[in-house]
A and B are shown apart, each in its own frame.
Chain A
């Protein structure tokens, strides 16, 4: 059996539209995940015990269960409790961002803890509060250090977002499945889908490498 190029080409517009949806949920989820992760990451190391415990439970639960199961829980199980039917888009964003938030939290925690203790001491000795020292001194330095692992997380999430196809959300993978159901072109379509994912992930990793290089020049140690 040979590769049907015409089929691949004709499927492209639909697949690219799916890719756009993939980019959209990934970007939204990463954005929300970074916000969640920043707060949870700081909670992990703050001096309030209850926040430390809650954030540790959050991270353990979300990293210790499969994303697929989390998607099912949010899409099928939450409506059972609340009685509200979930929109697939909302369910997709919610599950991806709270999942990503757990990984990002660990990235931020490690980033913050990698900053020399003397920085916090210097800030506090000047009369700055813990919060001010975090905001102006620790987090800006930690941010530069976490760019590479955040980039990895971005790439991982972009690929993992294919899992939301199981709730019928039409991103790239789901689009591919639907086209195959119609045309039986497994070889052509899955090849195209793989290539589109590859192009997106390579773009992100180049972008991250660029940011890293630019930051290295920015005076900081």
Chain B
């Protein structure tokens, strides 16, 4: 589903990604963990080219991201959820969700709103379609953001630290929605500090440090039986 080959990314003199190779299979849930500044968010953002890699190639669902048209095509198939929600504050929840299906896919307003309302129900916000983002709690906003991404019927969902900006009591409601999504067979790549989620939902866990995938394995291999020193010291700090 996703193939990254020899991905490098630098901002000026600073190298953030230093040769990443990664394959993600259909319906697989890959969780990326690692210290802040390790490049895990940049890695995720390269998948839909919100960051342009300095070197290397990205292929998603058989499409090589090498032209503006291809990038837009891939972005329509890849949903993304951000740390800071990034809802459109001047639009109602419903308009947030229907905008892209209508403008990108040419879906009619009625149909887009029908889908939006179903999605809102699915994330437990069936009655909040008319609200503005500022009237919602952080957890609710993030669930709307997930619904907004799902409205494009994506084949892949990317999550960039989706619970890091939330108050502790709201983390769970967002993780539950993500868990349900994974159970339904969505292909997901998740950058997170929620180790419980990584262990429970992840099919595979990547430990990224210094712009490289240092260790990868099943949640059991990573959490129960870590061998590498860097991983051990990271886990001892976060667990």
A122–B91 CA distance with the chains assembled, in angstroms: 14
- What is the number of residues of chain B that contact chain A, defined by CB distance less than 8 Å? 30
Measured CB to CB, the residues of B under 8 A from A are 48, 50, 72-73, 75-80, 82, 84, 86-90, 92, 99-100, 103-104, 132-135, 145, 148-149, 152
Closest to B135 in A: A219
B90 with A122: CB separation less than 8 A: no
Chain B residues near A124 (CB-CB < 8 A): 50, 75
A125 with B75: CB separation less than 8 A: yes
B88 with A122: CB separation less than 8 A: yes
B104 with A144: CB separation less than 8 A: no
**Which segment of A3-11, A134-142, A205-213 sits at the interface?**
A134-142
Decide yes or no: A219 and B82 within 8 Å by CB, A119-B88, A136-B103, A141-B89 being known contacts. no
A128–B89 CA distance with the chains assembled, in angstroms: 17
Give the dominant DSSP class at A's interface: helix
Total A-B pairs, Cβ < 8 A: 73
Closest to A119 in B: B86
With a 10 A CB-CB cut-off, give which of B73, B82, B87, B89 has the most chain A CB atoms: B89
Decide yes or no: A125 and B80 within 8 Å by CB, A219-B90, A221-B134 being known contacts. yes
Q: Give the top 9 A-B pairs by smallest Cβ distance, nearest first.
A: A127-B76, A219-B132, A126-B100, A122-B86, A118-B86, A125-B80, A127-B104, A127-B75, A221-B89
Decide yes or no: A220 and B89 within 8 Å by CB, A125-B80, A128-B103 being known contacts. yes
B86 with A140: CB separation less than 8 A: no
Q: Within 8 Å of chain B (Cβ to Cβ): is A87?
A: no
A25–B90 CA distance with the chains assembled, in angstroms: 33
A128–B80 CA distance with the chains assembled, in angstroms: 13
A129 with B72: CB separation less than 8 A: yes
Chain B nearest Cβ from A15, distance in angstroms: 43
Decide yes or no: A141 and B90 within 8 Å by CB, A127-B75, A219-B134 being known contacts. yes
Q: Determine which of B50, B73, B134 lies in contact with A125 in the assembled complex, contact meaning CB atoms within 8 Å.
A: B50
Chain A nearest Cβ from B36, distance in angstroms: 18
A132 with B103: CB separation less than 8 A: yes
Closest to A140 in B: B90
A129–B78 CA distance with the chains assembled, in angstroms: 15
Q: Within 8 Å of chain B (Cβ to Cβ): is A121?
A: yes
A220 with B149: CB separation less than 8 A: no
Closest to B68 in A: A129
Chain A residues near B75 (CB-CB < 8 A): 124-127
Chain B residues near A121 (CB-CB < 8 A): 50, 82, 86
